[in-house]
Amino acid sequence: MSSLYFNSSIQLVGELLFKIVGITAKADIGDEEDKEEEEDRQTSENSKKQLLEVLGKERRDRVLAAVYIVRQDPSGLVRKLSVHVWKALVHNTPRTVREMLPTLSKHWLLDFRIAFEPLHRSPDPGSHLVRRQRRTGRGR
């Protein structure tokens, strides 16, 4: 059930990012890979600038960090969609990851800590869930 939510979420995030950048979803890679590589690099650099301009560095890094982390999802469909979004927006993965490393590590450590936080410490499970959502910035 949760993979359905992740699937829908990554689709929506991908569509939103594609609209911001002004590109359509990439088609499957064909035989004309060499010709398209330079175009992809140009598009990727333009999309990086566009995302930075529209979202700002912090928000762009948070969104790309989330897409990068979801690339490791156990669900094949979610993994495939997130890799598709990542490849459409990012041409040089090592450089992009290096640029967003502080955000990525903070995001990963926070999720890791919350995942292993014991539930029995909270007298009210509902308030515990609200506290978790506030810490991750998902609840207001």
Supply 93's token pair.
């993965």
Contact 10, 71 (CB under 8 A): no
| Residue 15 tokens, joined | 């569509």
Instruction: List alpha helices for the chain, DSSP H.
Output: 2-21, 33-55, 57-70, 76-89, 93-99, 101-115, 125-136
Q: What is the pLDDT along the chain (140 residues), one digit of tens a residue?
A: 567 777 888 899 999 999 988 887 654 444 445 556 666 666 667 788 888 899 898 899 989 988 988 888 888 898 999 999 999 888 889 998 898 888 888 777 666 665 555 555 555 555 655 666 666 665 55
118 three-state secondary structure? coil
What's residue 113's pLDDT? 60
From first CA to last CA, the distance across the chain in angstroms is: 25
